[in-house]
Amino acid sequence: MSATLRIQAISGHSGAAPGAGTQRGERVAKLIDTTTCIGCKACEVACVEWNDLSFRETVFDNTYQTMPETAWNYWNLIQFREHIHPDGTLQWLMRKDQCMHCAEPGCLLACPADGAIVQYQNGIVDFQQEYCIGCQYCVAGCPFNIPKFDQTTKKMFKCTLCTDRVSQGLEPACIKACPTGCLHFGTKEDMTALAESRATQLREHGGYEHAGVYDPQGVGGTGVIYVLHDATNPEAYGGLPGNPRVPLSVKLWKGPLKWLGNLAMIGGLLGVTMHYLRFGPKHVSPKEAERS
């Protein structure tokens, strides 16, 4: 598994990444089966403990929701929703929210700091705080609202998918702590197969006719996939976007605008140089100089 920590993509990098375009290692994935999650928050505690994160106070809002969203020192949060169906029945939806480890990460695309965000060949997208400059561009690139800023250190933080554990052949801390087995970890291929079989089971035997797998293709698929009771309505699970994409304005900024800008800047410098070679300087008119 350690070979899977070869680097595949680097943020703000002017050269090639060592493993660009290659597929030597297995891609890993975390599977979250929301249909067997009981919202116990053992994964939250395991995450805070393993990653040695500082204590964070909860925010009471009259529900079981402990805080509104993930934080710089709280990378893994159960999103709890009381979902009322059109027929008036109520369902508790619990979704473990964290970085999705997109195959095409918008944070990495937006990041200007060389090496601050890396994507490993196993699919893990990881922040390297020593290179982070705290510009928060990654926030603009992320369709899941995951990267969070720490005011004290001026650095961004998020779930690392426990790269330190995964590189040693272990599962992420949250997986290890889950008491119901709703969390699984393995290769993307295996997790997808497991998720699909569970979704089929839910459709055929569980009475959830819209059950399905959440692996959004708008960001090239993700390293975290969900089994949802109702895959047609991911928004109900605490704002999981239906069709997440790297924002168009980020793609425009990093694509056409950059080329247009480079062309304009180099063209401008060339233009004034050519103007000077052709026309040269303006002097005081000889007529006026004579008058003085």
Partner 1 sequence: MILRYTLLERAVHWLSALTYMYVLATGLAFYSPHLYWIAALLGGGPTSRYWHPWVALVFVAALAWMLRAWLADMRITAADRAWGRDMKQYIRNDDENLPPIDRFNLGQKYFFWVMLFAGLVLLATGLAMWFPPSLPLALRPLMILLHVSAALITIGAFIIHVYMGTAVVRGGFTSIIRGEVSPAWARTHHRLWYHRVTGK
Q: Point out which residues bind partner 1 (CB under 8 A).
A: 12-14, 110, 112-114, 131-137, 139-141, 145, 149, 154, 247, 249-250, 252-253, 257-258, 260-262, 264-265, 268-269, 272, 275-276, 279-285, 287-289, 291-292
Provide, rounded to whole angstroms, the least separation between the CB of residue 111 and partner 1. 10
Using the minimum distance from each CB to partner 1, give the nearer residue, 193 or 264: 264
Measured from the CB atom, the residue of 3 and 260 that comes closer to partner 1 is: 260
d(CA 181, CA 189): 19
Q: What is the closest distance, in whole angstroms, from the C-beta atom of residue 246 to partner 1 in the complex?
A: 9
Q: How far is the CB of 192 from partner 1 (least distance, A)?
A: 28
Q: Strand order in 117-120's β-sheet? A: 7-10, 117-120, 125-127
SS3 (DSSP) at 184: strand
Shortest Å distance, C-beta 209 to partner 1 = 32
Q: Least distance (Å) from partner 1 to the CB of residue 160?
A: 21
Pairing mode, if any, of strands 125-127 and 77-84?
unpaired
Contact predicate 93/81, CB 8 Å:
yes
Beta carbon nearer to partner 1, 85 or 154: 154
Q: String of b and e for 146-157 (b: at least 16 CB within 10 Å)? A: bbbbbeeeebbb
C-alpha 164: how far from chain center: 18
Q: How far is the CB of 270 from partner 1 (least distance, A)?
A: 10
CA 234 to chain centre: 17
CB nearer to partner 1: pick between 193 and 269: 269
Of 179 and 267, CB closest to partner 1: 267
Select 111 or 178, whichever has its Cβ closest to partner 1: 111
CB of 284 to partner 1, least distance (A): 5
Minimum CB–partner distance for residue 30 and partner 1 (Å): 23
CA-based Rg of the chain, rounded to a whole angstrom? 25
Return the closest-CA partner of residue 228 out of 95, 44, 100.
95
Q: Which is nearer to partner 1, 56 or 154 (CB)?
A: 154
The identity of residue 193, as a single letter, is A
Query: What is the total residue count of the chain?
Result: 292
Distance CA 152, CA 127 (A): 17
Helix (H, G, I), strand (E, B) or coil at 92: strand
Distance CA 26, CA 167 (A): 12
Nearer to partner 1, 20 or 140 (CB): 140
